Structure 1
Amino acid sequence: MRVGLYLNEPRGADPIAELRETIARAAEDGFASAWLSNIFGLDALTALAVAGSQTPGIELGTAVVPTYPRHPAALAQQALTANLALGGRLALGIGLSHQVVIERMFGYSFERPARHMKEYLDILLPLTRGEKADVQGETLRADLALSIPGTGLPVLIAALAPRMLELAGSMTDGTVLWMTGPRTVAEHVVPAITSAAERAGRPAPRVVCALPVCVTDEPGAARARAAEVFSVYGQLPSYRAMLDREGAAGPGDVAIVGDEAEVRAQIEALGQIGVTDFVAAEFSARERTRDLLKTLL
């Protein structure tokens, strides 16, 4: 199992410089990957291309870019360009986002989101492979090719529901998970995505699992802090469904917390249930947590 880092949104006066330093340290510490969300701050693809281009070796991923605001051809063009800037080290994670965001903030319909993702992938994937996209879907259409060199860009989707896991396994390189506990990963995510890949004759999919992590001698306080920091994810329906499946009251219950031995054991257990990439979201006691994570590399 590869171990990576979840990159916090830079808050300083020079966010690109801050992000560059964070990526450089992650690479220096030996992490396999670093992942940046695309929410309402920096554009993740642009930021990673600029901030990560001078730091070789480490994979840089988006976790995730929402699909609805960008036509898949436009996203393919931007992702392939960013991948060139990064020397082929980009992992493109995409996702549906949430109904409250897509309908209320962007004004798009969130009707039948799995249909949207299927049509989106029908266009995006050929273009990232250097092929022409010729798709006449119900909601998305394309008839074009791109002239950007380079292929082999891994594409992963945020997949939690059964239909989305079917798409992830049968069409893409895997899934990017957030706020999904180990029992749900073992009993729901891994079996569904793996069987979908097998039926489609595809290689074993990547399962990128990101969770909050804190090494501490006060686990109760750390879980309370995680519950506060990540409270919104206990309210969004897709994450709420996974927390309910896990039997978790909220985000604090799926955070990985404890002393060094306890955190190590929890992370290593993820590898045993099929997680291929663990991504640590450090949220407290950062230096102590980082010291432990480096021993896992």
Structure 2
Amino acid sequence: MRHGVIIDVSKPIDGVVDQVSKLAEQGIATAWCSQIFGYDALTLLAVVGREVPDIELGTAVVPTYPRHPVMLAAQALTTQAATGRRLVLGIGLSHQVVIEGMFGYSFDRPARHMREYLSALMPLLHGEAVTFKGETLSATTMAPLDVKVDAPPVLVAALGPTMLRLAGELADGTVTWMTGPATLASHIVPSIAKAATDAGRPAPRVAVGLPVAVTTDPDRAREAASRTFAIYGQLPSYRAMLDREGAEGPAQVAIVGDEQSVANQIGAVAEAGATDFSAAPFGTSDEIRQTLALVTALAKG
């Protein structure tokens, strides 16, 4: 299992570059960048990738609705070229409250939207022209995009059965958040693996993101997780995964404890079938430092 870190994108760009540079020096496999309400993730990773060699750079995740697939393909290929083919393109639907409430787009038929989006995006990334007309979008190019670089792997934020089937059939894997090891083992991994096998595709990547805190005070850390990550317990897609796990809220799937306990819990994610793990360090500055040190040690084996 590859060990990665979800980077802190609240820093100035020079600070983000320095952060990723240190992760690369320490042997972390992947630096994952969220796309929320700050930096544009792909632009940021293009900048970082020009400054920092070797480490894989992933988006977790870029929402599809605000970007036409032709535009996202061009941006992703540009970032792939800028980073020396180190991009992992994580994409997702986002959430109804964001797509309708902020962008003013319809969130109707999200699974149909994603199937059609991938039907246009994947050929473009693989150097093909596209002529596609669906029920939720259309895309037509006169020729392939003129960016001569290999396609990045595409991971779809997929949690429900329909989305996992799409990710296995049409993409290279999935990226999850707020999904515990029992749900990974019983639902996520077997569902996407079967879909990939049925479609004749390679075994999918399953990139799992969870909050992590190495701490001497687990109760206090879980209280902090409950406050920090409260919104995720209210979003329907994550709520469904928490319910599957039997978790009251995000604090119950956060990985918290001393070094050995945290290492064991991350090991349980690997045993559940994850190919990638991305830690989202939280807590005090000392706890974050200890968490990064442990993830670095695990990455080195």
Q: Scaled by the length of structure 2, what TM-score is found?
A: 0.96
Deviations 1:221-259 (A, max 9, x none): 111111111111011111111111111111100000111
Residue 250 of structure 2 corresponds to which residue in structure 1?
A: 251
- In the alignment, structure 1 residue 166 sits paired with structure 2 residue 168: no
- In the alignment, structure 1 residue 88 sits paired with structure 2 residue 52: no
Q: CA contact under 8 A between 1:214 and 1:283: conserved in structure 2?
A: yes
Aligned residues: 294
Q: CA contact under 8 A between 1:10 and 1:18: conserved in structure 2?
A: no
Residue 10 of structure 2 corresponds to which residue in structure 1?
A: 10
Secondary structure class of the residue paired with 1:39? coil
Secondary structure class of the residue paired with 1:40? coil
In structure 2, which of residues 37, 58, 65 is the aligned counterpart of residue 68 of structure 1? Answer: 65
| Amino acid corresponding to residue 4 of structure 1 in structure 2 | G
**Per-residue deviation, 1:99:** 0.3
Query: Which runs of structure 2 are paired with 1:274-285 in the superposition (5 Å)?
Result: 274-284=273-283, 285=287
Residue 182 of structure 2 corresponds to which residue in structure 1?
A: 183
Separation in structure 1 between the aligned mates of residue 186 and residue 163 of structure 2, nearest angstrom: 16
Q: CA contact under 8 A between 2:70 and 2:121: conserved in structure 1?
A: yes
Separation in structure 2 between the aligned mates of residue 9 and residue 223 of structure 1, nearest angstrom: 23
Query: Which runs of structure 2 are paired with 1:177-216 in the superposition (5 Å)?
Result: 177-216=176-215
**Per-residue deviation, 1:55:** 1.0
**Per-residue deviation, 1:57:** 0.8
Residue 46 of structure 1 corresponds to which residue in structure 2?
A: 43
Residue 298 of structure 2 corresponds to which residue in structure 1?
A: 296
Deviations 1:20-45 (A, max 9, x none): 01110110111000101111100000
Separation in structure 1 between the aligned mates of residue 215 and residue 54 of structure 2, nearest angstrom: 30
**Per-residue deviation, 1:10:** 2.0
- In the alignment, structure 1 residue 29 sits paired with structure 2 residue 31: no
Q: CA contact under 8 A between 1:194 and 1:205: conserved in structure 2?
A: yes
Q: Which runs of 5+ in 2 are unaligned?
A: none
Q: Percent identity among equivalent residues?
A: 59
**Per-residue deviation, 1:52:** 2.5
Deviations 1:97-120 (A, max 9, x none): 000000111011101100000000
Secondary structure class of the residue paired with 1:278? strand
Separation in structure 1 between the aligned mates of residue 24 and residue 97 of structure 2, nearest angstrom: 36
Residue 147 of structure 2 corresponds to which residue in structure 1?
A: 148
Separation in structure 2 between the aligned mates of residue 203 and residue 274 of structure 1, nearest angstrom: 15
| Amino acid corresponding to residue 77 of structure 2 in structure 1 | L
Query: Which runs of structure 2 are paired with 1:212-231 in the superposition (5 Å)?
Result: 212-231=211-230
Separation in structure 2 between the aligned mates of residue 232 and residue 111 of structure 1, nearest angstrom: 22
Q: CA contact under 8 A between 2:3 and 2:30: conserved in structure 1?
A: yes
| Amino acid corresponding to residue 294 of structure 1 in structure 2 | T
| Amino acid corresponding to residue 161 of structure 2 in structure 1 | P
Secondary structure class of the residue paired with 1:104? coil
Runs of 4+ in 1 over 4 A off after TM superposition: none
Separation in structure 2 between the aligned mates of residue 278 and residue 192 of structure 1, nearest angstrom: 19
| Amino acid corresponding to residue 67 of structure 1 in structure 2 | T
Separation in structure 2 between the aligned mates of residue 39 and residue 292 of structure 1, nearest angstrom: 27
- In the alignment, structure 1 residue 129 sits paired with structure 2 residue 131: no
Separation in structure 2 between the aligned mates of residue 169 and residue 53 of structure 1, nearest angstrom: 31
More displaced stretch, 217-226 vs 92-101: 217-226
Separation in structure 1 between the aligned mates of residue 48 and residue 197 of structure 2, nearest angstrom: 37
More displaced stretch, 84-93 vs 45-54: 45-54
Q: Which runs of 5+ in 1 are unaligned?
A: none
Separation in structure 2 between the aligned mates of residue 251 and residue 197 of structure 1, nearest angstrom: 29
Q: CA contact under 8 A between 2:42 and 2:75: conserved in structure 1?
A: yes
